[in-house]
Chains A and B, each alone.
Chain A
Amino acid sequence: QKEVEQNSGPLSVPEGAIASLNCTYSDRGSQSFFWYRQYSGKSPELIMSIYSNGDKEDGRFTAQLNKASQYVSLLIRDSQPSDSATYLCAVTSGGSYIPTFGRGTSLIVHP
């Protein structure tokens, strides 16, 4: 069974710090990796996707993928209180385009 694991948190960081969110997955054949942000009471919103090893940067967000170690992470630089949300990791495997979602990590950025 394909599994995607995330620490549920909450992860609490001060405003301006770097928030590091981690995700591990069980299927070595996984090919596509996504990070969704979900504010309380709202729907998940796609913020990053990554498909190859290494780093991918988009503004204050950096996704990091290490297929050998089977983890993907999301770094948020200069964290703001508005970044407080639950971050969901989603992974697709070679045989399917349907992602498996992790349970999410709650991030709290305090002023």
Chain B
Amino acid sequence: DIVMTQTPLSSPVTLGQPASISCSSSQSLVHSDGNTYLSWLHQRPGQPPRLLIYKISSRFSGVPDRFSGSGAGTDFTLKISRVEAEDVGLYYCLQASQFPYTFGQGTKLEIK
């Protein structure tokens, strides 16, 4: 199975400031079809996760443009340009390039 490793595991940020989360995979996530199926999910307390970003950098429907994704191969980053109060919670990277699809340990974003 592909192991996904996120850093940091906890990130205290100030409202209005940027935040960044890194994710690395134990092997390349480039699929045989040429795409890289790396997604980012956000989970608020008491709710299931929801999709933010797919294929490294494509924002899912309804996701604010302050969220952006980048990276290639085995190293990826999620950035929030200006953190808002509703952004608190857990963030997970997820790979769907190789079955079973696996996700990182999660990064807890909290407000300072």
Partners in one complex: no
Q: B: which residues have CB within 8 A of A?
A: none
Q: A: which residues have CB within 8 A of B?
A: none
